[in-house]
A and B are shown apart, each in its own frame.
Chain A
Amino acid sequence: MSYEPRAMSQHPTPRSHEPRATSRELRGFSLCTALVVICLFLSLAVSASAASLAERVFETTLDNGLKVLLLEESKAPVVTIQVWYKVGSRNEQIGKTGISHMLEHMMFNGTPTIGPKQFSLIVQRNGGQDNAHTTSDYTAYYENFAADRVLFGLELEADRMAHLLLGEKEFQPERQVVIEERRLRIEDQPANVLGEVMRATAFLAHPYRWPVIGWPSDIEGYTRDDLVQYFRTFYAPNNATLIVAGDIKKDDLLPKIQALFGKIPRGPAQPKVITVEPPQRGERRVYVKKDAELPLVFGVYHVPNLTHPDSFALDVLAYILGGGQSARLHQQVVYEKRLASYASADYSGVHVDPYLLGVSAGPLPGKTAEEVEQAIFAEIERVQREPVLERELQKAKNQIESEFIFAQDSVHRLASLLGAWESVANWRLLAGYLDGIRKVTAADVQRVAKHYLTQDNRTVAILIPTKPAAPAGAGQPGGSKP
């Protein structure tokens, strides 16, 4: 969803080396990795062969508590190695916000055997691709390789889980990189500034209120000792899941995983997140003024996560509202009323604690945020008032099913699904998920719309564009250098 940069990744990926015929876009690469993109669009969308997926995944737990998931899938000669730590910005304390993400960056900065900055060099030298990302709920690392390189990835991950150095000399410039990352992703992007303020308003107490990348003052303030302490607390095998998927033989791999990871000592129990978000009692509104061309309208409602029985109906509801151009928000707000150039909805259930269902729209020039807001809420009132059509219901279910089938095209995506679900709850919930979706009725959709999408339970955030007082120097032509 456009207003929620939930995931921060360690580095941009290598630029395209393939011939390109389709575009001459200069920024021909993504700042996010495939992994991040999936997580943004993932919502709870999984299904069709979910049951058979559950049968294909081999699960074991090493003595030190490391959960291991292996998936043999030989359709392409590749493998993905992923380590998911159950730590994200929800585990942080005020004053140290963003430290999960800072630590993610430092995971590429050296162990006694792998010098600083060498990690990705070694991966790429072996034809591989690597990256990592941090969210509010987990921090994930991956290497993708040709299948014959699988042990490289395992070796690298075991090494940094056990022996991360966290050198002061590497930490200081890396902090500056993160400060630049925050500027790039948040400060100069009006939609992302609005999203940040909106979440800080929607959550009063729960750590979901601060941004994954952290507040600027906190990024400036961590010490190396903070990072060492955080690493020791959360980067233990008993707080992690190792996933290997692709062209592998699990019986060959298991002893090697045991040899590499089994010797890493179990860590102490991780501290629990105590704070529970109190119920919202009345609409909250927040405005952000920023140099921008057009307003934006965002709204979020507190909703349960994927462990709750209502999550199936909430997922279907989000598709009916925002699942494409034939969905209600686009049809009414964009197409019929011609108020916005886009309008969408998104349910984020893949969180440890209850999170949000969001709606968003970008008004057309000449249209006001108020008109757009009213049109969006009129659609929400309509799903509360009248049951959705059977065909709309079936369409949403088909979309959720097919999204999961398409995810099977890539072992990386499939492994990422397992990792995200396991990190926030239990990957086995995937198996029952499609069944849950299939059982959703029009009455269920109406019930959850009435129950959760109430005015008292929502936070509305509006971007008010401002123009700088004097656009000095705008467009001045340049000169030449001697």
Chain B
Amino acid sequence: MRTRDVTRGSARLWAVVFLTPVLSLLSPVLGPPSPVALAAALGQRQVLPSGMVLLVSEKRAVPIVTATMLIQAGAILDPPDRAGLANLTAELLTQGTKTRTATQISEAIEFVGGSLSVEAGQDVTTVTLSVLSRDLDLGLDLLADILLNPTFAPDEIQRKVQEVLAGIKRKQEDPGEVSAEAFAALLFGTHPYGRPVEGIEASVPTITRDDLMRFHEAYFRPNRTILAVVGDVSIPDLTRRLEAKLGAWQPGGPNFTPPPPPAVLARPVVRTIQRDVTQANINLGHLGVTRDNPDYYAIQVMNYILGGGGITSRLTATIREEKGWAYDVGSAFIPDKYAGTFNVSLQTKNEVAQDAIEAVLAEIRRIREQPVGDDELKDAKAYLTGSYPLRLDTSSKIVRLLASIEYFGLGLDYVDRSPGLINAVTAADVQRVAQKYLNPDRYALAVVADLTKAKIKP
């Protein structure tokens, strides 16, 4: 298996790509991909008088505009007995304002072939607007209207509560979702991240119109908002339009005291859930890191090698390619605002579930105990730095990156700086962060499977 040595195959390809006459014509560009030239114009940042941070990138090649708004109004702000409040608020923003009905809103945006959607997450609620540039004014009108003037009509609340409850039920039909939800509950306990964003069957129907109006009033504020816009716009023109449409939006909102950090697991905790399924859906992991962790880049490199690098990762090599146990296996460090998650997920036939879990733990131990190979390290860095052009090649990718960069305070030079930070990572760093941030003895494990066939050790 490819792990730490250069394999025969890749050495031979090296000969092919470097030695054939056709390709030698390109030899000057065959070094590591260089992202340096890219970042020059990632975007411009300004803080509007209301406190809203505006990031704009002019991309005039296609007559479209894409906007992403992050508002600190996520499920983490739900009162414990109102799980699902942020989600229901988000769902209802587009369902009626002081001057437009739900149908008028959807009809207006769909008539011009655009889209306007609102989605709550754990930390933030995201509003996404896409329109042809000729319809920008209409799009911004609608965006401003749903943010400033939602009515939360009782009839609409009733509708959305029913739909959310249906969604909660349908989620139970997807063993992958059930496993992920059980994993989060094990990992975070009573911390808000342990609850599903959409709430639970018991909590959602108890949410009142007052709850929704208060939540909206408190948290949908410009000083809690980042707006990133990419596309066929000019920055002065867009700024002027936003001031006209969102000028009445007043800053405010309560201070937020983050919940106490979730407790670190003292031992493995396992939850198994019986379903009539052909595969065991496995989630294994523990707390990870937040985005401001100084080891973040070393962790990215380490995780790419372990299980983040798609088809090229160690977990895939062992569990998919060597054993043929899974179509999809991988690991991720997910940096949320107040706590991070490390997670390995895979699906495999019930009968080998326990073997697969042990193989995952063995790979976690190996990357802690032995330094990664030079080639693995080089490959990981080459992808993480060299794929920047592909991560910035469309308006929708740029707009999401701009918003994230601002949210995590990375600075607009992030794309310039990031390759240097990745390239500075050494094999010793990888091993150090593997030892520090991976723990094969204290983990949460959630398995949804046919437990008559999947024998999971407690």
Q: Which residues of A pack against B, CB within 8 Å?
A: 11-29, 31, 75-78, 108, 110, 112-118, 120-122, 124-129, 144-149, 151-152, 155, 159, 172-181, 183-184, 187-190, 256, 259-260, 291-294, 323-327, 331, 334-335, 338, 341, 362, 364-365, 391, 394-395, 398-403, 405-406, 408-412, 468, 471-481
Contact = CB atoms under 8 A, between A and B. Distances in A.
Given A118-B9, A172-B324, A125 B279 contact: no
A21 B310 contact: no
B93 interface: no
24 contacts: A12-B327, A14-B310, A24-B122, A24-B341, A25-B121, A26-B334, A76-B389, A118-B9, A125-B386, A127-B387, A127-B389, A145-B389, A148-B29, A155-B20, A173-B321, A173-B324, A293-B172, A338-B159, A399-B110, A409-B64, A468-B275, A475-B271, A479-B270, A480-B458
A478 B272 contact: yes
Given A145-B390, A176-B323, A180-B349, 4 more contacts: A25-B121, A121-B311, A335-B159, A405-B113
A189 B159 contact: no
A408 B393 CA distance: 11
Nearest to A77: B389
Contacts of B12: 112-115
B119 interface: yes
Contacts of B326: 177, 180
Contact of A127 (B25, B385, B403): B385
Contacts of B317: 117
Given A113-B12, A326-B107, A180 B193 contact: no
Given A22-B124, A362-B166, A151 B23 contact: yes
B113 A17 contact: no
A375 B381 CA distance: 55
Question: What 3 A-B pairs have minimum CB-CB distances, sorted nearest first?
Answer: A115-B9, A127-B386, A402-B113
Nearest to A403: B113
**Chain B CB within 10 Å — which of A20, A29, A174 has the most?**
A20
B204 to A, nearest CB: 12
Contacts of B441: 481
Given A180-B349, A181-B327, A28 B334 contact: yes
Contact of A21 (B184, B267, B277, B404): B404
Contacts of B385: 127
B432 interface: no
A335 B102 contact: yes
B270 A394 contact: no
Given A19-B410, A148-B26, A149-B33, A475 B273 contact: yes
Interface string B171-189: 0111111001001100000
Given A21-B404, A478-B445, A26 B26 contact: no
Contact of B272 (A114, A176, A473): A473
A480 B170 CA distance: 31
Nearest to A144: B390
B321 to A, nearest CB: 5
A475 B182 CA distance: 9
Contact of B335 (A20, A113, A403): A20
A280 to B, nearest CB: 30
Contacts of A341: 162-163, 166-167, 170
A176 B401 CA distance: 37
Contacts of B175: 188
A177 B320 contact: yes
Contacts of B169: 293-294, 365
Given A15-B310, A479-B270, A115 B7 contact: yes
Contacts of B222: none
